[in-house]
Every structure is written in C-alpha cells, then in structure tokens.
C-alpha cells in the first residue's frame, strides 16, 4: 500500500484496479445495499453506466453463490477480467457481516463506504429508494472513496470482540456494584467502608457475608470464633482484629424495621450472585485476551511502564494490524 499519495482519501486498492484495467469499460463495480433478508445489488462499469438494473440477492450462502455466478456471467458477456471486479456497500451491520466475509474469503475485493458521504452522492438527498441508495454507493466506489482493508481481521478481530465484550461487562458489573451499595446502606450502613469495618469491599470475605441473611443485627449475633473462621477462610489478613472491629461497628449503626429486612436480604443475595458471575466472566475474558494479545505486536506495549494487558489489548484491537493499516495521517 502506498504510504504517500495526493489521493490520501482514496482507496489505493481501487486505484490499482483502475490502473490495471486501463479502460473504465473493462471494470465492473457492484454496489450493494445491505439488508437483513435480501440485499439489493446493481452492476455498473467504471464510467458509471448501468450494466444490470437493481435486483435482489438473498442474505445467505445461496445468495452469495447466485451473486458470484451472475457477476461471472456478466464478465464473460462483456469481456471483463474477474480481477477487475469489486463489490462495495455502506458499513455493514452484524446481519450482513458473514455475507461480506464470505465474498472476501473467495478472493473478491469488497469495499466499505461511509453512509453519510454516500447519502450526499445521491441525486435526491431528500428521498431514499433502492436505486438512489445504490447510485450513491456506486458514486463513492467509482470515486475510489472507500476502505477495502478493514483494520480488524483475523487475530485482531477476535481481540477486538473480546475487549469490547469485556468493556460492556465491566459497565454491567459497576451497575450491579452500585445496586449492592444501595441495599447495603439500608441493611448495614457503612459495611462497604474499609475504614469502618476493616473489610475490603467486594473481596471474597465481603461477598460471602453479604450473600446470605446479611444485616447489622446478624453480624452482631454471630459467634466471634465462627466469624473469625469465615474471614480467615476467605483471605482476610487479620481475621481476629477485623472480626472485633466489624462486630463493634455493627452495634453502632441504625438498622431498618424488621418488616423490610427479609426482602432486602433476598435482593442483596441475588445482586451478589450476579456480581460474582460477572466478575468470573470478566476474569475469564482477561485470560483469553492475554492469549490473543500475545500473538500480536501489541504485546510489546506491555513493556511500557503503566500499560497493562487490558490497556494494551484495547489499543491494539482498535488500531488493528499495523501491516494492513491506512497511512499514518489517516490513522491519526
């Protein structure tokens, strides 16, 4: 890929196709308007002349085979080399991703165009029909304003999927954590403040105590020896001192009326189970992220002070393969 060109906003792959063909009449552009069930497709040459009017193609393996068959048949009829054919459409949703990837896996050049820019290329920007949409896409493709090299593919695509999934789960875990705070503030105010109870919030000890019949009254009534054993078993560093501080603090707080306690305890128990599940899933994803990151050059980012696996994986996943990336000024 050229790193320096006056056509910095144009696709170098499409420019190469036009240069190799030598004649715009020997080029076939296939704009696609993607949809969940049936895509709308049109054939045109490098001059923009319509070679085949819009027709429907199923969003399935059968549809891919049919489209390729029609492209090859049209190429034979017009003497167009199949290497001078390219497909393109607006940024695809998840429903059309497999369709595009199947075309790419069979060796076809597939470009993506910006939906906002494609709309500006339509003859009538106020209206939208299949034909107008395809004309806008075709105009972008023929002007070489498209991206044929997705930054995320292969290992980088898998890494991005895992990183984004983890990010969403972290947001969910934060929401659940906030709900737990809300319930605990009523059952045992201040329990999640380490300075008051000596227990680090959301550690194994903290979660175990909150998981069943939790309240300030229940903590006060626990036998000291049993409480010390629980804290020691779940990793508290100073179980005796923590148990004494926790029970002493439990005697000083306000408690809710008895009629509300059982309902709050049930709610807290379910929130804690949900939080545990999210925490375990996030931990599993982080292990998987580390495995995929180790297979990329992004692993070297972890040698920089202050950059860990999660941050390195996030940066690497979004930038993609540096060997298939756009020129540096586009990337920035």
Alpha-carbon distance of 85 to 280, in angstroms, equals: 48
- This prediction's pTM: 0.74
Structure tokens of 160? 């991005």
Looking at residues 138-144, what average pLDDT do you find?
90
| Model confidence pLDDT, tens digit, residues 258-301 | 999 999 999 999 999 999 999 999 999 999 999 999 999 999 99
Question: What long-range pairs does 160-164 form, CB within 8 A, spacing at least 24?
Answer: 160/317, 160/318, 160/320, 162/285, 162/288, 162/289, 162/292, 162/313, 162/317, 163/289, 163/310, 163/313, 163/314, 163/317, 163/318, 164/317
Looking at residues 124-149, what average pLDDT do you find?
75
Looking at residues 82-95, what average pLDDT do you find?
89
Alpha-carbon distance of 104 to 101, in angstroms, equals: 5
> Are residues 111 and 148 in contact, defined by beta-carbon separation less than 8 angstroms?
yes
Looking at residues 167-186, what average pLDDT do you find?
97
Half-sphere exposure of 142 (CA within 13 A, CB side): 22
> Are residues 168 and 174 in contact, defined by beta-carbon separation less than 8 angstroms?
no
* Of 217 and 118, the one with more pLDDT: 217
* Of 126 and 214, the one with more pLDDT: 214
Q: What percentage of the chain reaches a pLDDT higher than 70?
A: 89
């Amino acid at each position: 890929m050229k790193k320096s060109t006056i056509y910095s906003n144009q696709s170098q792959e499409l420019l190469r196709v036009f240069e190799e063909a030598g004649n715009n009449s020997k080029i076939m552009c296939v704009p696609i308007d993607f949809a969940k069930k049936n895509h709308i497709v049109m054939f045109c040459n490098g001059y923009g002349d319509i070679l085949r009017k819009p027709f429907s193609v199923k969003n399935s393996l059968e549809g891919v085979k049919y489209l390729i068959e029609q492209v090859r048949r049209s190429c034979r009829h017009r003497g167009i080399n199949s290497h001078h054919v390219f497909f393109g459409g607006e940024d695809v949703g998840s429903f059309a991703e497999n369709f595009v990837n199947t075309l790419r896996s069979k060796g076809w050049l597939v470009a993506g165009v910006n939906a906002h820019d494609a709309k500006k290329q339509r003859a009538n920007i106020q209206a939208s029909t299949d034909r107008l949409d395809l004309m806008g896409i075709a105009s972008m493709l023929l002007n070489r304003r498209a991206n044929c090299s997705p930054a995320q593919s292969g290992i980088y695509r898998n890494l991005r999927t895992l990183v984004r999934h983890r990010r969403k789960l972290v947001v969910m875990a934060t929401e659940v954590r906030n709900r737990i705070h809300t319930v605990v503030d009523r059952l045992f105010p201040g329990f999640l403040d380490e300075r008051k109870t000596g227990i680090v919030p959301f550690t194994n000890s903290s979660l175990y105590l909150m998981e069943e019949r939790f309240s300030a009254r229940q903590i006060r009534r626990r036998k000291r020896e049993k409480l010390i054993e629980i804290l020691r078993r779940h990793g508290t560093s100073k179980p005796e001192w923590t148990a004494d501080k926790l029970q002493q603090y439990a005697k000083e707080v306000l408690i809710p009326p008895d009629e509300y306690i059982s309902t709050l305890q049930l709610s807290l128990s379910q929130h804690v189970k949900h939080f545990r599940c999210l925490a375990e899933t996030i931990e599993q994803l982080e292990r998987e992220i580390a495995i995929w990151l180790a297979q990329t050059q992004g692993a070297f980012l972890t040698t920089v002070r202050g950059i860990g696996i999660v941050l390195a994986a996030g940066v690497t996943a979004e930038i993609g393969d540096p060997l298939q990336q756009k020129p540096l000024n586009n990337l920035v």
